[in-house]
Amino acid sequence: MKKLIYSLFVLFFITSCQNSNLTEKEKFIDNLISQMTIAEKAGQMNQYNGFWDATGPMPEGDYQKKRYNELKNGQVGSMLNVIGVEEIRALQKIAVEETRLGIPLIFGHDVIHGYKTMFPIPLAESSSWDLELMQKSARIAATEASADGLNWTFAPMVDISRDARWGRVMEGAGEDPFLGSLIAKARVRGFQGEDLSEVNTIVACAKHFAGYGFSEAGRDYNTTDFNHYTLHNTIMPPFKAAVDAGVRTFMNSFNTLDEIPATGHKHIQRDILKGDWNFDGFIVSDWGSIDQMIPHGFASNGEHAAELAVIAGSDMDMESSLYVSKLVGLVESGKVNEELLDDAVRRILRVKYELGLFDDPYKYCDQDRSDSELGSEENMMVALDAAKKSIVLLKNDNGLLPLKKQNQKIAIIGQLANDKNSTLGNWRSQVEYNSAVSVVEGMKKYKGNKTIYQKGVDLYYGETNFHNRVKINFKDKSDFGKAKLAAATSDVVIMVLGEEGHQSGEGRSRTNIDLPGLQKELLKEIKKVNKNIVLVVMSGRPLDLTWEDVNIPAIVQAWQLGSKSGDAIAQVLYGDYNPSGKLTMSFPRNVGQVPVYYNFKNTGRPSTSIEQVTNSGYADVENSPLYSFGYGLSYTEFKYSDFEISSSTMTKDSKINASIRVTNTGNYKGEEVVQLYLRDIVGSIARPMKELKGFEKIELNPGESKIVNFEIENSLLEFYSYNNVWESEPGKFHVFIGTDSNVRDHKEFYLTN
């Protein structure tokens, strides 16, 4: 009894402390807002890109001077892309010491897959299915970014996408909402840590809200067209998961949905995010997306765009300069209610408060931390671990891999093999150019074999960067001969082909997703002189590898793996790490199949073969992708047996256990991602053929076996139904457990009332 009274007392004490903290924060913010002019409120809602070297001479030129004056007048609330402790300190000093109310700025930047230490691109890292690892890499990125003065990242991107033509798939977690939600949570927790006021945590941003991953024809910034149920069942879950994990900011998107630009979309921002989901952080527009409502044909001019955006719930204007220039007039003319500004400002100040910026606006400006914490050896070791775990073995005929470690002559061919830059990927933040370990360097660390490198062909020429198109070589084959000679005189050929690191990412859509340039031609030529080819594919998206799948015995999907790429690839090729990655996005048989994804609907005329004519299929290829979601091989083999479910009925309050035995029947120790899928046979809306609902990554020694259990409970059966709510519907379900989404063997059960 004494114990109970004591616990209640402690609980009461904690709750009242929390409440008083909460009120203190809100009181502080209300008090500040009550002192602000309309112009200062609009200022808090204004975000500028770094416009001048703040440690250098005073700004010159009208544009810079105007921004500088606005900064001094308290008309800037946030800045992005200001890099380094000294720069950030100098700008913060202006905000804190020279403006009337001294409100600190919040500094944002795209810390997408690392800051100084580069981790694999997010799509690659999602192939590890290792949530702890993803949380850790985000944690390290946050530690490095905060050590360099930043306190806000525009990540994670949680857009679901089914279209490999879209260059931004490299930034996401693939095609599945269930896995995407778990990854969204892991990344948010990684960036924000346990406590935002800690000096090594930064604010995360779930983006792009919403539907951007469905840009029509995979063309970036294009319009979208999907139905209400796709929005709720496929697109929204990772965003909701980010909110559940405590994400403090959102970014809206460039696209229209329901024919309305997301930035001006009141229903998704105010009704769903801020209403139904109770999100009390703030929404930043995407770059210039308020202004872009004019070419969308939704706003007639800048003033109208600002009015529509603020009414729709976009709290901060990234680089349109429209809030700062138009909101005062809009409030004064009565077109916009000042309370809307108060709400937006309250949200922004709340996040600044939680970061502890009002206690110490310079807390992230510690040069010693910046000097010692960036790109440390310890961080690099995590990058290596992440790189190894992101690699997916797509094909390995006759055990060509792993390579023998002694007395082999190995030809390494392809420009990307010797490239220390491309594999850093797009959105590479502050990593040094040309700083990755190349494949040639990684392979040379294995001294037992003789390696010879030949470029074979240039994939690209000239410099590559975020702003320019990569220039692809379609002409010069002059190095083919030397590469053929090297291949002809070698035991094994490692061909490193794929995309340059800036061929994917924002604004990098492609209509042809083959190996670019002359690389395939080179591959065909090499095959004429040596068939023992291991193809290492580096890319920021699924490529069309259909020819390669038929003609090349071993294929390794090595994405863009970051700082330690070459070491990771070499360790996998030599078997010092047994590949365990599984695809999170389907690889199409050809681009005409796109969008292709595992959780499709059956249609009224499901096709089982190409021969069937009036069924939903193609005359030239099967409906299935070349490599499906969840697919990935290991050097060992896993056998699945003894599949059981504990009952053939369940109610909304009960649970079923599904179990399976997995045995390592091969010769290597290995990891396997055991996957649980469910199918809801009949629904109030047509339901997908399969949906991932659980997974477990296990490690087994040769001969070892393990029983893997999954608990099936009502929440796993819920979906956004015809009634416009998340609910389960009684009826028949199929359960599948297997190595990838192609699994067919299933059990069935009934959900009863």
Question: Which is it for strands 460-461 and 471-472: parallel, antiparallel or unpaired?
Answer: antiparallel
Which of 287, 719 has the CB closer to ligand BGC?
Answer: 287
Which of 29, 112 has the CB closer to ligand BGC?
Answer: 112
Report the distance separating Cα 308 and Cα 270, nearest Å.
13
> Is the distance from CB of 277 to CB of 247 less than 8 angstroms?
no
Residues near ligand BGC (CB under 6 A), total: 6
Contacts of 523 (CB under 8 A, 6+ apart): 495, 497, 515, 533, 535, 548, 552
Minimum distance from CB of 377 to ligand BGC (Å)?
30
Instruction: Indicate the helix (H) or strand (E) that contains 413.
Output: strand 409-413
Minimum distance from CB of 59 to ligand BGC (Å)?
22
Minimum distance from CB of 535 to ligand BGC (Å)?
32
Report the distance separating Cα 269 and Cα 258, nearest Å.
14
Q: Which residue is nearest to ligand BGC (CB)?
A: 154
Question: Which is it for strands 656-664 and 249-252: parallel, antiparallel or unpaired?
Answer: unpaired
Per-residue contact flags (x/-) with ligand BGC for residues 381 to 410, judged by CB under 6 A = ------------------------------
Query: Given phi > 0 = left and psi -120 to 50 = alpha, else beta, which region is 562?
Result: left
> Is the distance from CB of 220 to CB of 469 less than 8 angstroms?
no
Cα–Cα distance list, 652 to 143, 687, 724, 732, 739 (Å): 43, 19, 19, 13, 28
Which of 287, 480 has the CB closer to ligand BGC?
Answer: 287
Which of 286, 680 has the CB closer to ligand BGC?
Answer: 286
Restricted to residues 289-328, the positions that interact with ligand BGC (CB under 6 A) are none
Per-residue contact flags (x/-) with ligand BGC for residues 652 to 691, judged by CB under 6 A = ----------------------------------------
Residue 351 tokens read as: 């996040």
Report the distance separating Cα 516 and Cα 511, nearest Å.
11
Q: Which of 629, 692, 678, 676 is nearest to 178 (CA)?
A: 692
Minimum distance from CB of 555 to ligand BGC (Å)?
31
Classified as helix, coil or strand, 599 is coil
Peptide bond preceding 142: is omega within 30 degrees of 0, i.e. cis?
A: no
Which of 251, 626 has the CB closer to ligand BGC?
Answer: 251
207: contact with ligand BGC by CB under 6 A? yes
Question: Which is it for strands 670-680 and 731-738: parallel, antiparallel or unpaired?
Answer: antiparallel
* Catalytic option among 159, 286, 458, 544: 286
Minimum distance from CB of 85 to ligand BGC (Å)?
20
Which of 447, 467 has the CB closer to ligand BGC?
Answer: 467
Restricted to residues 21-40, the positions that interact with ligand BGC (CB under 6 A) are none
Phi first, then psi: give them for residue 195, nearest 5 degrees.
Answer: -145, 115
Restricted to residues 455-494, the positions that interact with ligand BGC (CB under 6 A) are none
713: contact with ligand BGC by CB under 6 A? no
110: contact with ligand BGC by CB under 6 A? yes
Minimum distance from CB of 110 to ligand BGC (Å)?
5
Clarify whether 286 is annotated catalytic.
yes
154: contact with ligand BGC by CB under 6 A? yes
Query: Which stretches within 333-428 are classed as H helix?
Result: 338-355, 367-373, 377-390
220: contact with ligand BGC by CB under 6 A? no
Minimum distance from CB of 135 to ligand BGC (Å)?
21
Query: Which stretches within 356-392 are classed as H helix?
Result: 367-373, 377-390
Minimum distance from CB of 68 to ligand BGC (Å)?
21
Q: Which of 11, 226, 164, 63 is nearest to 557 (CA)?
A: 164
286: contact with ligand BGC by CB under 6 A? yes
**List 48, 51, 115, 287, residue binding ligand BGC (CB under 6 A):** 287
Residue 144 tokens read as: 């490095």
Which of 129, 154 has the CB closer to ligand BGC?
Answer: 154
Minimum distance from CB of 466 to ligand BGC (Å)?
9
> Is the distance from CB of 45 to CB of 323 less than 8 angstroms?
yes
Work out the number of other CB atoms within 10 angstroms of the CB of residue 493. Answer: 29
Which of 110, 680 has the CB closer to ligand BGC?
Answer: 110
Query: Given phi > 0 = left and psi -120 to 50 = alpha, else beta, which region is 433?
Result: beta
Per-residue contact flags (x/-) with ligand BGC for residues 64 to 103, judged by CB under 6 A = ----------------------------------------
Minimum distance from CB of 575 to ligand BGC (Å)?
38
Report the distance separating Cα 753 and Cα 404, nearest Å.
59
Minimum distance from CB of 207 to ligand BGC (Å)?
6
Report the distance separating Cα 288 and Cα 232, nearest Å.
27
Give the bridge partners for 450, in sequence order.
409
Residue 732 tokens read as: 């028949």
**List 506, 514, 622, 713, residue binding ligand BGC (CB under 6 A):** 506
Cα torsion angle, 521, 525, 526, 530, sign: positive
115: contact with ligand BGC by CB under 6 A? no
Which of 148, 286 has the CB closer to ligand BGC?
Answer: 286
Minimum distance from CB of 724 to ligand BGC (Å)?
30
Which of 426, 532 has the CB closer to ligand BGC?
Answer: 426
Q: Which of 417, 621, 437, 425 is nearest to 541 (CA)?
A: 425
Cα torsion angle, 370, 373, 379, 380, sign: positive
Report the distance separating Cα 541 and Cα 591, nearest Å.
12
Contacts 24+ apart (CB under 8 A), 335-343: 335/307, 336/307, 336/310, 336/311, 338/38, 338/41, 340/310, 340/311, 341/38, 341/41, 341/42, 341/45, 341/310, 342/33, 342/41, 343/315
Which of 83, 485 has the CB closer to ligand BGC?
Answer: 83
Which of 91, 717 has the CB closer to ligand BGC?
Answer: 91
Query: Given phi > 0 = left and psi -120 to 50 = alpha, else beta, which region is 61?
Result: left
187: contact with ligand BGC by CB under 6 A? no
Phi first, then psi: give them for residue 670, nearest 5 degrees.
Answer: -155, 165
Minimum distance from CB of 507 to ligand BGC (Å)?
8
Residues annotated as part of the active site = 286
Give contact residues for ligand BGC (rule: CB under 6 A). Answer: 110, 154, 207, 286-287, 506
